[in-house]
Amino acid sequence: MYGRVLSRLQKIIRTPQYTLVGISMDRLIYVSTEEGIVSVWSSNLNGGDRRKITKERIMNTARPNRENNLVVYSVDVSRGRELQKIFFGDNLGEKEPDILEMEPVRILGLLQHDKGVVYTGSSDIDIALYIGEPGGKAEKLYSSDKIFFSTDSWHKVVVGHGLLEGNPRSSEIFIYDLDTGQFEVYTPKRGSVNGPPKIYNSTLLFTSNYQGKTNLYTYDIDKDLLEPAKFLYDDYLKHDIKDYVNYGWTETGKIWFIGKTRGRGIVFYDGQEVKHPRGTPTYLEEHRGVLYLTLSSFKSPPSIYRITPDRQEASPIISSILDDEIKEAFGETIFLKYKSFDELEIPCFIIESKSPKPGPTILYVHGGPWSEVADSWNISIASLVANGFHVVAPNFRGSTGYGEEFRLLDIGDPGGGDLKDIVYARKYAFEEGIADKVAIMGYSYGGFMTFLATVKEPELWSCGVAGAGITDWSEVYELGDAVFKMFVEVLFDGKRELWKDRSAIHYVEKLKSPLCILHPQNDTRTPLRPVLKYALKLSELGKTFEMHIAPDMGHILTRMDDAMKILYPALIFLSKHMNMNDSD
């Protein structure tokens, strides 16, 4: 069994991923994992002449300026604690990078600005906007006690968004003038949710729900003019778009966007639907009339596609090919909605393996919570399916991709209604003949939900796998930096009285099913210390559990070996406790 699991997992982890970042002087800049680490590469516009730009594992990459050869990226200098410094390389990887003189911070938004950088960084005391140039020193421009992210810049203007009014159910746009130092907060309507703005000349493009349903709008800063985004074509009106994966301006001032419907994305260029393979596109660039796109699905890792000027044909130019054994392990993939305890319809993916039904099933809980399981590449899900498990992946209340009203349902109630949604997903799996036994598994917020579900609903699970989870919200808050303290306050809507009820540490004696705990040693989002205390209590109470601490690893996977440290023990544990045999 161990050899089979290891072999299949290695095939998945070693499959490279390619994600487009932008275009720099007729070269594609992209992120790749082909050498086992997350690094920045470049190629010509046909995907040839590939050059590695970075030597280190990178954390963030700024969209390049297509008029110069600068490539801006950040590197974790704290062994996984996400304290980063910024480097300036070139698009051929031919020169030694310059390093910005700066205090290491957690970077929340990294932008190339002219021949330098603008970024948002979080320290222990505040979140601030900074500017810097190669060979220079970072300058703090503005600081706040609110969460905000820089998302775009145009000459002397930097824009972004955040919870700038302190309301956890709204987000506002900021406009920062580099000449005057003025930080202006803008919202179409107080209390509305406004997505990350992109700027072209003096006009912002952003999503907003200020008129109810989330739509795209433009705002001309100079004219103080807000309008619905305008398009030449109306193909997008034929689709029930629930959310927006991404959007932006082309080099000629046209608008592109990726609309989300039924867990998948559709690309639109000036309102015209762009043909591409089924899955979830995440980013697009136009250059001289040609479109370049990142696309993946459950069965295909991220690849970069070139789309013809007539928008009717997409072909991969930097392609990731999954091993046939892994592809053949997938059965049917189904998108559906089931009703939860309060009749709310919960979107869900069922990703079947070729194993018989009903059979061993994993209820997979995504992180975030403001994230989702879409029809896109997911190493964890692929690893489970390849090893014979069916996967039920609910997008519980609070998930993105289904409108702001749905996403906001989680605020003030984490581990409440969303946990019930997960319980009802399990119920659905049995009723529909998918599962004969169910384990629960998740990472980050999914790890928190696994810890909580196994003590709040202890009778339901054959076993549980909790990765990088939270067992004690009070201690996590105490250990967090500025942004994560704010995150906890926002998630709970200031209801600190809920922290105890939603912390598994206070119900540890109720655990009945075997539990596998997986945790990075240097995680600063979900610190290790509270989880060690939880494990100690499990030991004192004689509970069945195992614990694996991944050395020198942070919350974010920047090395493919990190995925092995998390997934291999998880798969062995699940195979054992779900009674999988060597023939599965």
Encoded tokens for 71: 């490539």
State the Cα–Cα distance between residues 317 and 285, nearest whole angstrom: 14
Instruction: Tell me the one-letter amino acid at 500.
Output: K
Q: Is 444 a catalytic residue?
A: yes
- Cis-peptide into 358, omega within 30 deg: yes
Whether the CB-CB separation of 40 and 19 falls below 8 Å is answered with no
Q: What is the separation of C-alpha 521 from the centre of its chain, rounded to a whole number of angstroms?
A: 21
The dihedral through the CA atoms of 543, 544, 550, 553 has a sign that is negative
Q: Spell out the SS3 assignment of 243-271.
A: EEEEEEECCCCCEEEEEEECCEEEEEECC
Q: Is 519 a catalytic residue?
A: no
Residue where the block lists tokens 């069916």: 390
Whether the CB-CB separation of 62 and 72 falls below 8 Å is answered with yes
229: nearest Cα among 213, 239, 218, 219 = 218
Catalytic residue among 296, 340, 380, 444: 444
Catalytic residue among 113, 161, 555, 577: 555
Q: Is 561 a catalytic residue?
A: no
Q: What 8-state DSSP symbol labels residue 552?
A: T
**Residue 307 CB neighbour total at 10 angstroms:** 21
State the Cα–Cα distance between residues 235 and 242, nearest whole angstrom: 15
Instruction: Tell me the one-letter amino acid at 309.
Output: P
Whether the CB-CB separation of 301 and 322 falls below 8 Å is answered with yes
For 288-389, strand residue ranges (E) read 290-297, 300-307, 314-318, 330-339, 345-353, 359-365
280: nearest Cα among 209, 351, 368, 378 = 378
| Sheet (strand 183-186) strand order | 148-154, 157-162, 172-177, 183-186
Residue 345 DSSP SS3: strand
Catalytic residue among 523, 562, 575, 577: 523
Q: What 8-state DSSP symbol labels residue 92?
A: T
Point out the residues that are catalytic: 444, 523, 555
